[in-house]
């Protein structure tokens, strides 16, 4: 099994995906263990002094003015975890929780948190045992970090609360730790606070969304190319010299992908109307511009994620000169903004895909295709309601594009009076990514059927490869009406699992 070694300088997106989705093992580097021990020495020295230090010998948030005596500090750290583990709602997905835990471990290992090496090792042991704390949908405002989600994870380290075992069964965390020979941690000064004060949940979801969207934007270029073929559109608008004079990188990449997918097609440019088209509709002609703008948004979001992956997010932090200083680095605004930006781009990409699908089904705009791509229109309804489903998904995506980060609800007796709502932005982006996948699956379903209805002209080798692969995946071609939901589900899985991109790349080579 692949092993990810966590050092002091952060982790990569590939590391996060390996641990969250593939179950990779986690190890602490010698450098990280040394940094943990050194920072802990600073915290222990400050804890022994009579002067109050926030997070070490004081309360938290609006209660930071109280100096806590030494005999109560262990209780203080336990209590912050218990009281902050206040999430509600449905359980969060296993991959999100694993990303959350791993990214918290990343910050702990930076040597800026003051957590003991044995606590960090326990975090790694829990991940390696396949134990997943039960984390709930609601509880984070995205400032002071993802407090409630991280607290539920810290509760598991203490042997309290519930967690899911490697067998998928939810049981008391203490039982699961005991079965795997993991001793619950006894928290000391600052450790409870350090375990729950970070942007790890929203960052983990951003990293996974970026990976999914990288594949989906390639998929969208493919479905757009299929629709262009089915509508007998022109590929001249994809010429590199046209995109070079408006040099947005994403636009150039999308156009190049579509051109590669359409290479060798006999369908492009064969207008069958009484009045030949001078131009294709925007949803066809401007596909690279819309998808390209989304790709550039992805690039910006990836830059933010890379910076955050290299960060140590905690409050207070231990500095190399021995100071323990309060700060605002836990604020989720940088991550929240790009999560919202991506939701906007996703909604627009889905919207243009739906417009192409509608055009394929409308006999007045499809340039010779049967109404709704039906076998016997009137007796058969064809894909009429598949487009309804797609439209409902797009409508939901537009609602999900409303930014969460523009909201703020003051908390903690107005001490925490401006929050990021980044966790909420991340949760709605996950839904948006799922819905975009479904929208593209419907376009694939309609466009592949439409291409097959164009008799006498051959599609491009790459689009033919996509059609052949999707048929082998259980998505049927033209014919009389049948139960559509299973076909749409199979098309969804085909896109979601990356098989559409894989099929096309057997002909084109790697897409951009």
Residues noted as catalytic: 54
CA 458 – CA 229 distance, rounded (Å): 10
Residue 20 · residue 95 · CB < 8 Å = yes
CA 349 – CA 440 distance, rounded (Å): 9
- 91's CB contacts (< 8 A; 6+ apart) are 134, 135, 136, 137
Contacts of 35-39 with CB under 8 Å at 24 or more apart are 35/8, 35/109, 35/110, 35/111, 36/108, 36/109, 36/111, 36/115, 36/116, 36/117, 36/120, 37/116, 37/117, 38/111, 39/111, 39/112, 39/113, 39/114, 39/115, 39/318
CA 74 – CA 56 distance, rounded (Å): 10
Residue with tokens 């599609």: 459
Query: What sign results for the dihedral spanned by CA atoms 310, 313, 319, 322?
Result: negative
CA 428 – CA 324 distance, rounded (Å): 36
CA 334 – CA 418 distance, rounded (Å): 14
CA 74 – CA 71 distance, rounded (Å): 7
Q: How far is CA 156 from CA 116, 361, 504, in A?
A: 17, 53, 45
Query: Pick from 119, 139, 242, 136: which is nearest to 184 by CA?
Result: 119
Query: Pick from 242, 200, 192, 222: which is nearest to 75 by CA?
Result: 192
CA 343 – CA 251 distance, rounded (Å): 19
Burial code of 236-253, b = ≥16 C-beta within 10 A, e = fewer?
Answer: ebbeeeebeeeeeebbbb
Hey, what are 207's tokens? 């990293």
Crossing angle between the packed helical segments 117-128 and 30-47, to the nearest 10 degrees? 130
CA 406 – CA 394 distance, rounded (Å): 22
How distant is the alpha carbon of residue 17 from its chain centre?
A: 10
Residue 419 · residue 409 · CB < 8 Å = yes
């Amino acid at each position: 099994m692949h092993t990810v070694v966590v050092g002091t300088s952060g982790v990569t997106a590939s590391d996060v995906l390996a641990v969250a989705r593939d179950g990779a093992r986690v190890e602490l580097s010698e450098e990280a263990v040394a940094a943990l021990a050194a920072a802990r020495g600073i915290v222990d020295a400050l804890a022994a002094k009579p002067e109050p230090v926030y997070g070490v010998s004081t309360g938290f948030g609006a209660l930071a003015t109280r100096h806590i005596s030494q005999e109560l500090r262990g209780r203080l750290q336990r209590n912050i975890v218990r009281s902050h583990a206040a999430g509600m709602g449905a359980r969060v997905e296993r991959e999100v929780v694993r990303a959350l835990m791993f990214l918290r471990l990343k910050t702990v290992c930076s040597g800026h948190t003051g957590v003991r090496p044995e606590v960090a090792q326990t975090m790694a042991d829990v991940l390696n045992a396949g134990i997943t704390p039960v984390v709930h949908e609601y509880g984070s405002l995205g400032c002071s970090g993802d407090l409630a989600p991280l607290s539920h994870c810290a509760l598991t380290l203490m042997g309290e609360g519930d967690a899911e075992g490697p067998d998928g069964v939810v049981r008391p965390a203490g039982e699961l730790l005991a079965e795997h020979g993991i001793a619950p941690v006894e928290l000391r000064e600052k450790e409870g606070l350090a375990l729950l004060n970070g942007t790890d949940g929203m960052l983990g979801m951003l990293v996974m969304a970026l990976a999914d969207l990288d594949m989906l934007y390639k998929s969208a270029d493919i479905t757009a190319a299929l629709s262009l073929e089915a509508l007998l559109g022109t590929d001249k608008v994809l010429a590199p010299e046209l995109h070079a004079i408006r040099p947005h990188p994403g636009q150039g990449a999308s156009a190049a992908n579509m051109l590669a997918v359409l290479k060798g097609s006999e369908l492009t440019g064969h207008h069958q109307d009484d009045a030949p088209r001078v131009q294709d509709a925007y949803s066809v002609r401007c596909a690279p511009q819309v998808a390209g703008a989304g790709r550039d948004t992805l690039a910006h979001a990836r830059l933010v994620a890379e910076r955050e992956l290299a960060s140590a997010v905690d409050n207070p932090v231990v500095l190399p000169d021995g100071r323990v200083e309060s700060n605002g680095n836990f604020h989720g605004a940088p991550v929240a903004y790009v999560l919202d930006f991506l939701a906007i781009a996703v909604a627009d990409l889905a919207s243009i895909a739906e417009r192409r699908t509608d055009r394929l089904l409308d006999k007045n705009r499809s340039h010779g295709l049967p109404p709704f791509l039906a076998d016997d229109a009137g007796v058969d309804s064809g894909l009429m309601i598949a487009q309804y489903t797609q439209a409902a998904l797009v409508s939901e995506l537009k609602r999900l594009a409303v930014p969460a980060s523009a909201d703020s609800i003051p908390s903690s007796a107005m001490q925490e009076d401006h929050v990021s709502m980044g966790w909420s932005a991340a949760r709605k982006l996950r839904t948006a990514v799922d819905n975009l996948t479904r929208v593209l699956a419907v376009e694939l379903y309609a466009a592949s059927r439409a291409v097959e209805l164009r008799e006498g002209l051959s599609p491009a080798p790459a689009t033919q490869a996509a059609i052949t692969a999707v048929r082998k995946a259980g998505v049927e071609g033209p014919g009389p009406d049948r139960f559509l939901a299973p076909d749409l589900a199979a098309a969804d899985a085909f896109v979601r699992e990356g098989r559409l991109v894989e099929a096309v790349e057997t002909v084109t080579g790697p897409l951009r």
